């Protein structure tokens, strides 16, 4: 890779802050680090970029994606029922044909697509119930190959269950020996409730033994009796590992009766586990066994956020057996959360933006390397927007992506032209729309 310039100066930035109002500043990047931030910087720079008051944000964080299955939609067939379970069956067929090259090519193509849209931190699951561990090995190689421009964490994820077939428990442990960053699980898909409980205990044990993070696909079902989150919470309280633990999906939380949900919310206050919701995918996967009314099946994001739990958001899938759509854009994810979780208040929208940035960094435990502060690695994005709200509403283009001091991608926003000949026709009475389609 090319060396970053000795000094890069970003002028007229609207610098976002997680909780305070934005600041108008210049930002100097020295090598791969943030060198200075001040209302006006005079020192000369090798390269200057006037960002003209647009927002400058730390990069997007993808807290939950499956890069091993990305870009396989339709292979060997389309998911016609749209359910999680048909998706698992299709993937079980597709994973028989995995090769290292296949996994790596699709993962890197997806990561580039993400990085061009401002994502510089990614947590991916790798299916380790695939008996050759090709998905895992491919993603571990990718993690190392891309580390100059994007940070990737790999979760060892037993898609078919830790106890779903005899070798799976051993494969999960082997994945940790090979270097997976986190241990995963899928308790609601174990053959019995007892197996589900046992799998959560085993995951906590392995995480402690190998000193790894935990990220469990937990209660991703509309069954109000799927109650493995309480087992995770109990293990987190007893082990004190909460901040290193993430509960992904937890869609059954949507369906719990309120008496139980409120009790659980109380227990949650005794631990700092992280929640990861995947609204794009769960709004399509869940509710499939309902007629009407049809449940939304996304976890209680608003209530968890109101209670001060750390919630981040994931895209989950890009064109795979569970979701045929998507480009990896985290503003799409935040926008879906705003709609599905009814977080349309002004502070609520800002919170949804934070769920794809700062909160994700907390979930991934990369806060020491994340954020636009003097001395930290220079990872940031410039958006074609003047606020979080503006960025979310228009799914603003990410104009510039700077990773470790290097400009790695830039995109021109689309510009529309009004082509009607009659000049007296009032085009649109909102000039900003003409300027910013
Ligand atoms: N596997 C799973 O168990 N749940 C999901 N949402 C996806 C894969 C995408
Ligand atoms: Fe997932």
The tens digit of pLDDT for each residue in 50-67 reads 999 999 999 999 999 999
Contacting residues for 332 by C-beta, under 8 A, at least 6 apart: 280, 315, 326, 395
Ligand 2 centroid – CA 369 distance (Å): 25
What integer best gives the mean pLDDT of the chain? Answer: 96
In whole angstroms, what is the distance from residue 28 CA to residue 374 CA?
Answer: 9
Query: Are 363 and 63 contacting, i.e. CB atoms less than 8 angstroms apart?
Result: yes
pLDDT at 310: 98
Under DSSP, is residue 85 helix (H, G, I), strand (E, B) or coil?
helix
Closest CA to 163 of 192, 204, 122, 124: 192
Q: Point out the ligand 1 atom lying closest to the alpha carbon of residue 220.
A: 4
Judged by its nearest atom, the ligand closest to the C-alpha of residue 124 is: 2
Judged by its nearest atom, the ligand closest to the C-alpha of residue 70 is: 1
203: part of which helix (H) or strand (E)? helix 193-210
pLDDT at 89: 97
What CATH number is given for 6-58+371-410 in this structure?
Answer: 2.30.40.10
Ligand 2 centroid – CA 65 distance (Å): 6
Ligand 2 centroid – CA 220 distance (Å): 9
Ligand 1 pocket mutation, candidates 68, 94, 215, 220, criterion most atoms within 8 A of CB: 220
pLDDT at 421: 84
Ligand 1 pocket mutation, candidates 66, 70, 128, 299, criterion most atoms within 8 A of CB: 66
Query: Are 180 and 169 contacting, i.e. CB atoms less than 8 angstroms apart?
Result: no
pLDDT at 43: 84
| 220 is a catalytic site residue | yes
Q: For residue 247, what are the CA distances in angstroms to 57, 205, 266, 295, 304? A: 26, 16, 16, 20, 12
Q: What are the residue ranges in the chain where pLDDT is below 70?
A: 1-5, 423-437
Q: What does the angle CA 109 – CA 361 – CA 278 come to, to the nearest 5 degrees?
A: 65
In whole angstroms, what is the distance from residue 132 CA to residue 411 CA?
Answer: 39
Catalytic residue among 205, 220, 367, 412: 220
Q: How many CB atoms lie within 10 A of CB 342?
A: 12
Q: What does the domain layout of the chain look like in residue ranges?
A: 6-58+371-410, 60-368
What residues are in contact with ligand 1 under a 6 Å CB criterion? 66, 84, 159, 186, 217, 220, 281, 316-317, 322
pLDDT at 3: 64
Dump the DSSP string for 145-189. HTTTT-EEEEEEE-TT-TTSSTTHHHHHHHHHHHT-SEE---GGG
The residue written with tokens 């954020």 in the block is 371
Contacting residues for 3 by C-beta, under 8 A, at least 6 apart: none
**How many angstroms from the chain centroid is the CA of residue 100?**
24
In whole angstroms, what is the distance from residue 186 CA to residue 8 CA?
Answer: 46
Under DSSP, is residue 355 helix (H, G, I), strand (E, B) or coil?
helix
Query: Are 69 and 317 contacting, i.e. CB atoms less than 8 angstroms apart?
Result: yes
Q: Is 347 exposed, middle or buried (0-12, 13-18, 19+ CB in 10 A)?
A: exposed
Nearest-CA residue for ligand 1 atom 3 is 159
Pairing relationship of beta strands 151-157 and 182-183 according to DSSP bridges: parallel
In whole angstroms, what is the distance from residue 365 CA to residue 61 CA?
Answer: 11
Pairing relationship of beta strands 151-157 and 23-30 according to DSSP bridges: unpaired
Q: Point out the ligand 1 atom lying closest to the alpha carbon of residue 321.
A: 9
pLDDT at 6: 73
Any idea which architecture 60-368 has in CATH?
A: Alpha-Beta Barrel (3.20)
pLDDT at 433: 45
Q: Point out the ligand 1 atom lying closest to the alpha carbon of residue 278.
A: 6
pTM of this prediction? 0.96
In whole angstroms, what is the distance from residue 394 CA to residue 390 CA?
Answer: 6
Ligand 1 centroid – CA 220 distance (Å): 8
Backbone angles phi, psi at 419, to 5 degrees: -110, 5
Q: Is 416 exposed, middle or buried (0-12, 13-18, 19+ CB in 10 A)?
A: exposed
Q: For residue 5, what are the CA distances in angstroms to 9, 46, 51, 405? A: 10, 7, 18, 8
pLDDT at 288: 98
Under DSSP, is residue 99 helix (H, G, I), strand (E, B) or coil?
coil
pLDDT at 4: 67
**In this predicted model, what pLDDT tens digit does every residue of 304-360 receive, in sequence order?**
999 999 999 999 999 999 999 999 999 999 999 999 999 999 999 999 999 999 999
């Amino acid at each position: 890779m090319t060396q970053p310039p000795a000094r890069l100066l970003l002028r007229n930035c609207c610098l976002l802050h997680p909780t305070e109002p934005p600041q108008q500043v210049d930002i100097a990047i020295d090598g791969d680090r943030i060198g200075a931030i001040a209302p006006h910087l005079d020192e000369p720079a090798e390269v200057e970029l006037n960002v003209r008051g647009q927002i400058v944000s730390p990069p997007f964080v993808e807290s939950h994606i499956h890069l091993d299955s990305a870009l396989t939609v339709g292979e060997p067939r389309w998911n016609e029922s749209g359910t999680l379970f048909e998706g698992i069956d299709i993937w079980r067929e597709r994973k028989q044909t995995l090769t290292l090259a296949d996994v790596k090519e699709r993962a890197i193509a997806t990561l580039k697509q993400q990085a061009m849209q401002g994502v510089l931190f990614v947590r991916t699951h790798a299916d380790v119930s695939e008996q050759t561990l090709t998905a895992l090995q491919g993603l571990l190689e990718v993690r190392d190959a891309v580390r100059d421009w994007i940070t990737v964490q790999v979760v060892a994820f037993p898609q078919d269950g830790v106890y779903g077939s005899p070798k799976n428990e051993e494969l999960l442990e082997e994945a940790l020996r090979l270097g997976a960053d986190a241990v995963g699980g899928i308790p609601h898909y174990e053959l019995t409730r007892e197996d589900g409980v046992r799998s959560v205990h085993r995951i906590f044990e392995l995480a402690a033994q190998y000193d790894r993070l935990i990220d469990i696909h937990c209660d991703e079902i509309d069954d109000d009796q799927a109650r493995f989150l309480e087992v995770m919470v109990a293990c987190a309280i007893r082990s004190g590992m909460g901040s290193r633990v993430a509960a992904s999906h937890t869609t059954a939380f949507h369906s719990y009766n309120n008496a139980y949900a409120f009790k659980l919310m109380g227990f949650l206050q005794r631990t700092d586990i992280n929640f990861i919701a995947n609204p794009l995918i769960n709004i399509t996967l869940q509710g499939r066994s309902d007629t009407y009314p049809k449940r939304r099946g996304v976890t209680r994001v608003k209530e968890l956020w109101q209670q001060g739990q750390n919630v981040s958001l994931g895209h989950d899938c890009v064109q795979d057996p569970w979701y045929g759509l998507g480009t990896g854009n985290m503003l799409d994810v935040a926008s879906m959360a705003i709609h599905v979780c009814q977080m349309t208040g002004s502070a609520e929208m800002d919170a949804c933006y934070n769920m794809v940035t700062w909160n994700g960094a907390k979930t991934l435990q990369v806060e020491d390397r994340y954020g636009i502060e003097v001395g930290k690695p220079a990872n940031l994005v410039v958006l074609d927007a003047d606020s979080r709200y503006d960025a979310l509403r228009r799914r603003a283009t990410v104009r510039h992506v700077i990773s470790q001091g290097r400009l790695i991608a830039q995109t021109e926003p689309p510009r529309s032209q009004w082509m009607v000949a009659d000049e007296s026709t009032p085009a649109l009475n909102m000039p900003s729309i003409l300027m910013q389609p």
